[in-house]
Chain A
């Protein structure tokens, strides 16, 4: 379904969605945008991209799995363990960039399979992603085209908006997307062939403006295989200060830790919590004996790149990178995944 929505009508549409928790990007500091639950005056889609991807709304940085409490009655100890699932709340996130939506599509793979993750899927199934095609690359380091995405890719999205000046070209991609449009059908006009043409032109123009490119990403997957023991990992990781920001800002990184948080020791009361974790920290893989399969920075940079461009490709036939460029833009020491992978292309066979 293809529709037209005037920019003036956008707030009217959003206000209709009273049964939804609605998130929009919000400017929090100079150049720093974040997804927040909105109030009326903040429905602004005139932004590049958020610093933290919307991943946090599907897979929060910290979330409780269960609560536990010990009680003693007549000298009989009992332990109560209670599951805490995310609350029931229909959610709509507006202005999701196509790369970040593709990342959700990758997380869908990780949290499915033989064991499904009930926390992720509870949120994912009740969340509608309203994407915004890029009319200009949000970052100097965008390279979505190199990893099989594009400024208007649709994977992971329910609706894709394309900015046509004073109106949006609205493409509904899923049943959930239709449902959201039907909530205020009267605001939308049918798209005409020339609107579709204009949207295509905007998207094509944006693709031309991408500054960064990773050459032949598919061949990198096979070249990496032979470069596990290469000394480029030492060279390229030399400046790493193991801050982990490359992974914490990554829309597709999914590694996590599980720990118990204790409110009271006696009687015991607390909860089990999942938090984001990173392969860039040395104790991520350290056994309690002290043995560590990835003790060096080099082995951890190698893990990050192998995971995204080789292991994930082997397991799912997709890159685990959407080319958003955040890990490049925010690395405090300038480690640049494209430059490192260019070296792989250069040295690998």
Chain B
């Protein structure tokens, strides 16, 4: 019989890393399937995670598909399911179904410069491709990361970002000045305008809070990026993940199935309701 799309596969949490503490805590979870299930996915796709007894939540996969040992999710503690996930420990079992969504069209981006622009937890959905591009560096041009958060303590993958500076251009920012911070102070779109990345042969990928995405796109337009050069990954409330439950739509598109990745050229044609 055909596999039932609503039944998750069991996976064990094999590693938990606290990225950010406090009220807007973020943890990174690495999971491995209990019975070694195959899970082929593309950069930018998502998975529906289950905490049995609490429910499901759609989370972007932040590990590279080239790494086969684990699936990684970086999760902001926010609602019922993500709060329950934050209370879980190594060895606990969760459910995973998917992968869902279109993912980034990375085959089309070979040879191009890639500009990653993230805000807060918005680094997670683009991290998968960033890791992949680093592992296949010869296939891409120059790699650049512009990433910011409210405070230095809210930056996800902080140590990794520092280490990345040996391999690619990394520009970090925080919203308000702090003692000891010697990088950019201000919002992410302002940092984009400050660093003036060139649109030549470049694809820009941005993810973060909706308001940040809006102003990053505006900044990129000011820097003469074409609509087709700007990609973003959208999120909406989801339940089924397969385009049937009816709530994540932007116009005739279901973000879970037809998204979450859109070029600005595509997204701007849809009703601005996300």
Contacts and interface: CB of A to CB of B under 8 A. Distances in A.
Interface of A: 65-66, 68, 70, 77, 79, 81, 83, 85, 110-111, 113-119, 228, 254-260, 262, 265, 268, 270, 272, 277, 279, 284-289, 291, 293-294, 299, 303, 306-307, 310-312, 314-315
A285 B237 contact: yes
Contacts of A77: 93
A314 B250 CA distance: 13
B52 A287 contact: no
Contact of B246 (A68, A114, A254): A254
Given A77-B93, A260-B52, A310-B252, A285 B5 contact: no
A69 to B, nearest CB: 9
B240 A262 contact: no
A44 B123 CA distance: 62
Interface stretch (B25-33, B53-61, B125-133, B179-187): B53-61
Given A65-B6, A83-B7, A114-B257, A293 B55 contact: no
A220 to B, nearest CB: 15
B27 to A, nearest CB: 16
Nearest to B250: A293
B154 interface: no
A293 B5 contact: no
Contacts of A293: 236, 250, 273-274
A115 B244 contact: yes
Interface string B235-266: 11101101111111111100001000000000
A113 B7 contact: no
Interface string B86-109: 000000010100000000000000
Interface of B: 2, 4-8, 10, 50, 52-56, 78-80, 82, 93, 95, 210, 235-237, 239-240, 242-252, 257, 271, 273-274
A258 B244 CA distance: 12
A272 B52 CA distance: 8
B7 A254 contact: no
B5 A277 contact: no
A289 B237 CA distance: 10
B243 A113 contact: yes
B5 A117 contact: yes
A332 B244 CA distance: 28
B93 A255 contact: no
Contacts of B55: 258-260, 272
A114 B100 CA distance: 11
A12 B248 CA distance: 49
B10 A81 contact: yes
A118 B1 CA distance: 10
A260 B54 contact: yes
Contacts of A259: 55
Contacts of A117: 5, 242, 244
A23 B245 CA distance: 27
B246 A258 contact: no
Contacts of B52: 68, 70, 79, 81, 260, 268, 270
Contacts of B245: 255-258, 277
Nearest to B256: A115
Contacts of B246: 254-256, 277, 279, 307
Determine which residue in B93, B246, B273 has the highest number of CB atoms from chain A within 10 A of its CB, and name it: B246
Given A293-B274, A311-B251, A314-B252, A258 B5 contact: no
Given A268-B52, A270-B53, A66 B7 contact: yes
Nearest to A290: B78
B53 A291 contact: no
Contacts of A111: 244
B152 to A, nearest CB: 22
Given A272-B55, A306-B251, 4 more contacts: A66-B7, A70-B52, A259-B55, A287-B237
Given A115-B244, A118-B4, A256 B239 contact: yes
B240 A114 contact: no
A81 B8 contact: yes
A289 B78 contact: yes
B242 to A, nearest CB: 4
Nearest 4 CB-CB pairs, A to B? A288-B79, A255-B246, A115-B242, A311-B252
Contacts of A66: 6-7
A303 B274 CA distance: 13
Contact of A255 (B4, B236, B247): B247
Contacts of A110: 244
